[in-house]
């Protein structure tokens, strides 16, 4: 093991002393701190080319996504490891990586390796990126547009709930057109569209509870238009973990998904707003090797 740590010093739950103590347990670790946008993928690529393995993303889901994006551009990338220091840490939750930093280091040192799918994201405005956890459009995108870094630092996972409550009075539906694996057109009035590789967003909200990050398929969850009462019911079932059983929520699986809407819906990739244009998602099966937690299973727990 020759680790290189891509550290986001501004991550939501990062305590400098605890982080320093944790990193001291990694054998001969070299640390590169992110100071500007674009540093994380650049540092990851430079570390890989210098022979470091694993490359450790020490930060939140945005840092993990950026490091994964950088590594995914290489022909033979090193392993990716995660030290969850962010607000939501949602990919870590799917991969059973402990959220306590000392326990996360223990999991990293155990070197349990799995090959995980990635999501290639390409929009009509020429935006191209890679997601590793979840891309969401519609209401979720509106929440990300309204989210601020200060709110995330101050409120942690509750920042997502607070921002959602602010956005909710102005929520609108989107006349949405989808093509799954190039099949026939599917048209719905949607409030939210989830394209998932991992299972949770927003600090543990199970938006795709049956997703398997190794099956070569995307879980596409559609939340249809409904009344205020319907939305309250769906929100309650989301918190309870069984919203896939609601009549206004449908689940599809596909290796490629094309989505267009009127009006254009905002889309995020791993929590970062990326586009309002039509967008195509394509799975890249088992494209990246990750160090996972000891309790990880690609097979999801059964939905309630």
Q: Report the catalytic residues.
A: 272
Phi, psi torsion values for 132, nearest 5 degrees: -120, -20
Q: How far separated are the first and last CA of the chain, in Å rounded? A: 40
CA dist 284 to 42, 64, 258, 281, Å? Answer: 21, 17, 15, 10
Q: Please give the Cα distance from 104 to 94 (Å, whole number).
A: 14
Residue 83: which of 71, 92, 93 has the closest Cα? 92
Decide if 224 contacts 162 (C-beta within 8 A): no
Contacts of 49 (CB under 8 A, 6+ apart): 74
Helix/strand/coil for 99: coil
In DSSP notation, 54-71 reads: SEEEEESHHHHHHHHHHH
Contacts of 13 (CB under 8 A, 6+ apart): 84, 85, 86, 87, 89, 156
Q: Please give the Cα distance from 159 to 268 (Å, whole number).
A: 17
Decide if 186 contacts 178 (C-beta within 8 A): yes
Decide if 156 contacts 170 (C-beta within 8 A): no
Residue written as token pair 């607000």:
87
């Amino acid at each position: 093991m020759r680790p290189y740590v891509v550290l986001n010093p501004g991550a939501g739950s990062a305590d400098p002393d605890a982080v320093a103590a944790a990193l001291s347990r990694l054998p001969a670790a070299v640390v590169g701190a992110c100071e500007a946008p674009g540093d994380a993928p650049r540092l990851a690529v430079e570390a890989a080319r210098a022979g470091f393995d694993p490359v450790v993303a020490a930060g939140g889901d945005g840092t993990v996504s950026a490091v994964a994006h950088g590594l995914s551009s290489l022909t033979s990338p090193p392993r990716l490891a995660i030290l969850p220091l962010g607000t939501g840490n949602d990919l870590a939750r799917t991969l059973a990586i402990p959220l306590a930093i000392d326990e996360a280091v223990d999991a990293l040192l155990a070197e349990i390796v799995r090959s995980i799918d990635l999501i290639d994201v390409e929009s009509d405005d020429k935006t191209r990126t890679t997601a590793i956890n979840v891309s969401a459009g519609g209401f979720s995108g509106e929440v990300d547009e309204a989210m601020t870094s200060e709110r995330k630092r101050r409120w942690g996972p509750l920042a997502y709930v607070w921002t959602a409550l602010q956005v909710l009075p102005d929520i609108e539906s989107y006349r949405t057109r989808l093509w799954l694996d190039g099949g026939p057109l599917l048209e719905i009035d949607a409030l939210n569209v989830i394209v998932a590789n991992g299972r949770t967003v927003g600090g543990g909200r199970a938006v795709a509870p049956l997703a398997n990050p190794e099956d070569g398929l995307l879980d596409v969850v559609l939340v249809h238009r409904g009344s205020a009462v319907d939305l309250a019911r769906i929100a309650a079932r989301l918190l309870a973990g069984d919203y896939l059983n609601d009549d206004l929520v449908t689940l599809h699986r596909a290796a490629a998904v094309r989505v267009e809407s009127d009006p254009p819906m905002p889309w995020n990739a791993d929590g970062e707003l990326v586009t309002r244009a039509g967008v195509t998602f394509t799975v890249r099966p088992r494209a990246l090797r990750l160090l996972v937690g000891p309790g990880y299973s690609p097979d999801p727990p059964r939905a309630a």
